[in-house]
């Protein structure tokens, strides 16, 4: 199963969810977030559930619930751009606390020891990727307008 990475530069890429131990998975997830991420934060942005209609609680099917991983210390780092898509989903327009840098959209699943991250379920993945692609296209257009690239 896959995860989706959205960069602050509005680049959307798909990656295989890492296999292996928690230590190995965490190392790869931090590397995918990039920018020297040493610890990630689990975020459940409200609009991911209210507008994109993703599930916010794990079900019996691994990866049907979707959440976001961000750099825990991202706002303390210099030159980290605002992630427009993640910030919109996080309702930054209401509370003024943006999400910066790259983010990962991941699935969640129940395990014997609680809830773990996993890849996103195939059907959910198709829907979410299309929605994020649409948001990305709109954000690119808005950046062009804002930057004076369109008259």
- Domain limits of the chain? 2-146
pLDDT exceeds cutoff 60 at 143: yes
Q: Give strand ranges (E) for 2-143.
A: 2-6, 12-16, 40-43, 65-71, 103-111, 114-118
Q: What is the pLDDT of residue 147?
A: 75
For the entire predicted model, the pTM comes to 0.94
Q: 100 has which bridge partners?
A: 82
Tokens 């829907």 sit at which residue?
A: 127
Reported as a single tens digit per residue, the pLDDT across 85-118 is: 999 999 999 999 999 999 999 999 998 889 999 9
Average pLDDT over residues 18-32: 97
* 34-43, 44-53, 76-85, 88-97: range with lowest mean pLDDT: 76-85
How confident is residue 8, by pLDDT bands cut at 50, 70 and 90? very high
């Amino acid at each position: 199963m896959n995860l989706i990475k959205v960069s602050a530069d509005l680049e959307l890429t798909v990656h295989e969810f890492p296999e292996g131990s928690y230590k190995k998975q965490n190392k790869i997830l931090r590397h995918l977030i990039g920018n020297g991420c040493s610890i990630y934060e689990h975020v459940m942005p409200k609009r991911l559930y209210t507008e994109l209609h993703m599930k916010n609680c794990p079900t019996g099917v691994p990866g049907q619930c979707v959440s976001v991983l961000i750099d825990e210390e991202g706002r303390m780092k210099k030159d980290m751009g605002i992630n427009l898509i993640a910030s919109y989903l996080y309702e930054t327009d209401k509370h003024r606390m943006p999400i910066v840098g790259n983010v990962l959209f991941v699935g969640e699943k129940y395990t014997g020891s609680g809830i773990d991250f996993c890849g996103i379920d195939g059907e959910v993945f198709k829907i979410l990727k299309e929605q994020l692609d649409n948001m990305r296209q709109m954000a690119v257009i808005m950046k062009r307008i804002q930057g004076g690239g369109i008259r």
